[in-house]
Structure 1
Amino acid sequence: MDDKTVEQDIIALSADKWRWMSDQDMPALTTLFHPRAVFVHMGGAWGTDRELEIIEGGFIHYKRADIHEVSVNVIGATAILLNEVTLLAVVDGNEVTNRFMVTEAYVQDQDAWRLTALAFTKLLTSAEEPPA
């Protein structure tokens, strides 16, 4: 499979991931998330089991991710995807909207792509930009 096809597959898989997270589709997420994956949020970092608990328990409900930009770098059996998104979520019962650069790392594992890292970096808006 050439890199362009892999890039398209990873972009589609990432979009599916956002939908599965919104729908709390635990079987799909359990298959997608590598057992040793790491998840980095504004409030901390943890592994796959905790991320699945958080999603299933509704502690974070990913309602909608509006994707503004996406890019993929394929390096052997690893794909690194960058998403610039506006994320609408419910966190601890409060609806919040944040603009993030989301880094996703995928590896080929037994002929399937598995998510091994998901990291959120909050982007500054014009009102939050530091003075020059």
Structure 2
Amino acid sequence: MCEIFVSADPHLYAHRSRSLRLHGAVTCIRLENMFWQVLEEIARRDGMSLSQLITRLYDEIVLANGDVSNFSSFLRVSCLRYLALQSDGAIPLDTNVPIRSLEPAAVLRRDRFMRTDTSRDPLQANG
């Protein structure tokens, strides 16, 4: 079983730091290359640069929650949610379909439905 994961290209889990400006302040974000690749795909889908996407995610999480204590973790979780929602069919696999064209309420309903199915949640399924 572990061979599936262990045989991954080491480049995918190597860290890379990127500096960018969030509202004039320079910040450095360190993520594994695979997460940078997913963020780049999300940005491309909606015709944004990576910097524009990250700024937008930052603004929206601050608006929703008032603050974010670990923005890098939030970005990783965002990438995993994107891939999980693609896998579940809530976000089309066709990267030519912009995410902004999707109805957020419908995607979120699908996401909530999937989270209530404990057979798909390894933490719930194993007790």
User: When the two structures are superposed, what TM-score results if normalisation uses the length of structure 1?
Assistant: 0.26
User: When the two structures are superposed, what TM-score results if normalisation uses the length of structure 2?
Assistant: 0.26
Structure of greater relative contact order (alpha carbons < 8 Å, 6+ residues apart): 1
Name which one, 1 or 2, has greater alpha-carbon Rg. Answer: 2
| Bigger proportion of residues as strand | 1
